[in-house]
Structures are given as C-alpha cells and as structure tokens.
Amino acid sequence: MTDGYITVKKPVKLMGTKVEGLYLEFKNGVLNKWDAKKGKDVFAQFINSDENANKIGEFALVDETSPIAKSNKIFNSALYDENASCHIALGSGYTSCLSSGSSQESIEKSGCNQSIVHEDFMIGLPETKIIGYKANQETLIMEKGLFKI
C-alpha cells in the first residue's frame, strides 16, 4: 500500500489543459488529498472519471541520462515526457506486465489497478535520490538523478 505524498515536478496536459504544481497525498493506496496551482478543475475531472482513477497504476524510474531528460524540454505528450523523469501514473496498470497472466483472476490477485484512464505524472528532478528498503536493508538506487545499481 502507498502512504505518503508526492509533488509533481513538471506540468502535464490533461484533457487539453495544462496542470501545474500538483501535490498528491496517498493513504492506504488511495489518493486522499491533493492540490494544484493550475488546472485544479481538470485534475478533479480526471480523478473522478472512474472509481480507480485515484490509485497508482505505474511507478517508473528514469534517470537523467535519457535523451528526453537531456533535452530539458516539455513536449506536452505523455509518450515523450514520461521518458524525461521518474514518474507515476494514476489509473490503470499494465496487465501485460503480470507474470501470472492477464486473466481477470490474475489481475485481481496481483492487485493491478484497473481504470478507464492512465496518465503519467513526472516526479523526478536532477537531484532525485531513491533508497530501497527490504528486510532492514537499505539499497541506494538513485542519487543526483542517476542510477547507482
């Protein structure tokens, strides 16, 4: 389950409108509090589009060596912009990535979120640091926006 908050570091275009300064807070895996400096009403429409649009469907680690990151441009297209930064997606997860298959039973058992929407939100910066925790062991995964493993 996801608990905590994330600040979205780059603007995203939702339904033709730019959303900026997005703050997302999660409790028990569900977005329970949020705010935006711009595009608040559009983001509200997005997360209310179905009952699972307010849950994480994807989390991706992208370091600062990607060509899109190096360009330092916002393309206003998730297919490009998701390659510029670590990101999360609200909405549907990718069932094709499940090792157990993509049957409805496998999807439900895995906990893969199902939604009619999927949108990426860029959360990484050049100073991003990520530490993984497993069984009381810490592993440095990313520091200053670069992979360390």
pLDDT tens, position by position, 47-77: 999 999 999 999 999 999 999 988 988 888 8
At residue 80, the pLDDT reads: 86
pLDDT digits (tens, 9 = 90+) for 95-149: 777 766 666 666 676 677 789 999 999 998 899 999 998 888 999 999 999 999 8
Q: How far apart are CA 66 and CA 80, in angstroms?
A: 11
**How far apart are the two ends of the chain, measured CA to CA in Å?**
25
Q: How far apart are CA 141 and CA 18, in angstroms?
A: 31
Closest CA to 21 of 6, 32, 31: 6
What integer is the mean pLDDT of 32-55?
Answer: 96
Q: Are 80 and 57 in contact (CB under 8 A)?
A: no
3-class DSSP assignment, residue 69: helix
